[in-house]
Chains A and B, each alone.
Chain A
Amino acid sequence: MNEEKSGQMNELGDMGAMAWVNAGLTARYRRERRFKFFGLAAIAASLMFLVLLLGAIAIKGYTAFRQTQILLDIHFAPAVFDVHNLASANYAALVRDATLSLFPQAMDRQDRRAAIKLVSIGAAYQLQEMVTRKPELIGATKPIWVLAAGEVDMFVKGHISRDVTENERRISDKQATWIDQLAASGRLRQTFNATFFQAGDSRESELAGIRGAVMGSFFTLAVTLAFSFPIGVAAAVYLEEFAPKNRWADLIEVNINNLAAVPSIVFGLLGLAVFLNCMNLPRSASLVGGLVLTLMTLPTIIIASRASLRSVPSSIREAALGIGASQMQTVVHHVLPLSMPGMMTGAIIGMARALGETAPLLMIGMVAFIVDVPRGFSDPATVLPVQIYLWANNPERAFVERTAAAIMVLLLLLLAINASAVLLRNKFERRW
């Protein structure tokens, strides 16, 4: 054996086989290192873009979670109130009087208007709510923190620069002086922006919140899940376990895969034509949004569910059939429970996609400006990504940070959903 080998080596020439191998070895290793480097570089590039994106959003958006407030000494003058109808009192006048009392030097009409503009119109609603809850306030004078106007908030946060000329910024020099006065006398503070999480949309930036959009997203996704999961699983089970494998099955499979790649706006148009025009379902409702997203999510869920069913080894089916289980018993008792984690993972990923979907919802009117937080499936609603789209179109500086903040909330929700999918998979995944 050894003699044979050495004989071969001699045939290769004086260098011998190992020398040839060694000569090529360095080049081989170099190629390998280069290959690894390219892979690493690709990962680094994508990570960089991700950090850039998230960083930009976070830097733009984090200030939205703080909100400027102004301390006003409100005198609940009894003359303003009608005991039988507390809601109709002129609360704006109370706010106006309290504001003007802070700035006695604002004498002329223009100055007074500028001073009043420092406080949000939401302050009146705040007082109304306080009095309705606690009527004994009438007659008293109380220091109350009220929302500052959006421009004041921007100015305090430094988003409106003092350096630009007066007519190019939305806070006049006089207003700036007043704001500085308020800050100096401790009548200005920044607190957690609870309004952002509790309110619906608003034209006033300081009153705008994502509650409406979040609830809209919730209702829409509930409808989507309720329709798409059972239908998708049933379709997958039939196609995978019962359907005869013939030309029709292939045709259906091709079509399902195709549907998964159809642009979502097309589903929106379909929803507009079928659900709104034919079935006369309410416009802008999360019910219709959910149905449209069901159409869009179904292929994803069917494909994931079929893959999950296919991953159950046929030996389990044979075992069940071999002791006389019927086809349905085999599926329901054995195959379905084993493939359920995979199906649920697929459904969750489908839901995550549906949560981020905008285009089809524009077609069915979910892009309307809706102030009220939806309370049911037929209420007019909007969803988070559409809210982001709406705010991004708003030129006001305060909406820029709110857009970013809404994106952060959406990303967090998506992260939570995807993390739950991963957890589910790790917990129930079975290796065969």
Chain B
Amino acid sequence: MTMILDVALGMAEVAAVKRSGADMAVVAEVRKVDRDQRQTVGLPFVEAPRMICREVNVYYGDKHAIKNVSIDVGKNEVLAMIGPSGCGKSTFLRCLNRMNDTVAGCRVTGDILLDDLNIYDRKVDVVPLRARVGMVFQKPNPFPKSIFDNVAYGPKIHGLAASRAELQDIVESSLQKAGLWDEVSDRLDQPGTGLSGGQQQRLCIARAIAVRPEVILMDEPCSALDPIATATVEDLITELKAQYTIVIVTHNMQQAARVSQRTAYFHLGDLVEVGSTDRIFTNPRHQLTEDYITGRFG
């Protein structure tokens, strides 16, 4: 069975990590997995996961968008999801806080667990779930309200602040964590839409962390930003890792290499390969992964 092969490869990788660097060559000699082979290779599972996804399938009407994906998201790690356009990485990301519920005709099967909570359980309320699993979108989308109100909105609706002073504290600390405080502290009453693109995206990150989520999902957060703003946001992601678990979808392989600890490669709805970022970019196991990171397509 292919599953056995998968586990074998996983074991090999664990063994390789445990052994000294000199033995890495042994692993490297393992034959590349064929292009037609679509079982996940690498190490999709971790020891202390924050989120556990098992046999997740997503359908848009008749279209099978995500095929049998199983993966763990570890605590306080940055998991990057890469892959060519239309491979389903954003779709999968949006399953993790049930944002796909808003899409008509979208159906999700399988199990996704946040700690011990099966988030696709009938009884689960999406409102507290989305407070625990925050999201940052591709295009910066601040509310057309003041900077303060943008950040304060989440805590307000969830009742996280008992008083105005407390709310101000939350706003300040969130903006500080998002590295935006110094730039906007003197104009909190100005509209958030008046900021530059990079500032807007950091405002959206501040808005997401203001409700103290456990996991932050980022859907190509830098694709609408210039290189300097991108660098700022990437630094921010690295800093946030200490407190939050971050899953980031990106088109930019260098970005995945810079910010993430683990990388998952999606191809046409299949999760093809998962592994430590270093390993994926230096020594991909799957032929498709290698084709993609060497720029043969994508």
Contacts and interface: CB of A to CB of B under 8 A. Distances in A.
A79 interface: no
Interface in A300-344: 313, 315-326, 329, 333-334, 338
A322 B99 contact: yes
Nearest to B193: A430
Contact of B127 (A324, A334, A338): A324
A245 interface: yes
Contact of B104 (A245, A317, A318, A333): A245
Nearest to A244: B104
A322 B131 CA distance: 8
Contacts of B130: 321-324
A323 B141 contact: no
Contact of A315 (B129, B139, B154): B139
A322 B137 contact: yes
A338 B144 contact: yes
Nearest to B128: A324
B237 to A, nearest CB: 17
Nearest to A315: B141
A317 B102 contact: yes
Given A322-B135, A323-B207, A324-B211, A333 B141 contact: no
Interface string B113-144: 00000000000001111110011110101111
A326 B101 CA distance: 12
A244 B104 CA distance: 8
B141 A318 contact: yes
A430 B144 contact: yes
Nearest to A322: B135
Contacts of B112: none
B104 A324 contact: no
Contacts of B207: 319, 323
Q: Chain A: interface secondary structure? A: helix
A316 B204 CA distance: 11
B142 A319 contact: yes
Given A245-B104, A324-B211, A333-B153, A318 B137 contact: yes
B250 interface: no
A249 to B, nearest CB: 10
Contacts of A318: 99, 102, 135, 137, 141
Given A245-B104, A315-B137, A333-B153, A322 B97 contact: yes
Contact of B158 (A245, A313, A324, A333): A324
Contacts of A321: 99, 102, 130
A22 B14 CA distance: 73
Contact of A323 (B139, B144, B153): B153
B204 A319 contact: yes
Interface string A420-432: 0000000000100
B143 A334 contact: yes
B208 interface: yes
A316 B144 CA distance: 9
Contacts of A316: 141, 143-144
A60 B130 CA distance: 68
B208 A323 contact: yes
Interface string B195-229: 00000000010011011000000000000000000
A319 B143 contact: yes
Nearest to B217: A322
A322 B12 CA distance: 39
B30 interface: no
Most buried by B among A244, A317, A321, A338: A321
B178 to A, nearest CB: 14
A274 B262 CA distance: 69
B162 interface: no
Interface in A130-183: none
Contacts of A334: 143
A156 B204 CA distance: 75
Interface of A: 244-245, 313, 315-326, 329, 333-334, 338, 430
Given A315-B137, A319-B142, A322-B130, 9 more contacts: A319-B204, A322-B136, A322-B208, A323-B134, A323-B208, A324-B128, A329-B157, A333-B153, A338-B144
20 contacts: A244-B104, A245-B104, A315-B137, A315-B139, A316-B141, A318-B102, A319-B137, A319-B142, A319-B207, A320-B153, A322-B134, A322-B135, A322-B136, A323-B130, A323-B135, A323-B210, A323-B211, A324-B126, A324-B211, A325-B127
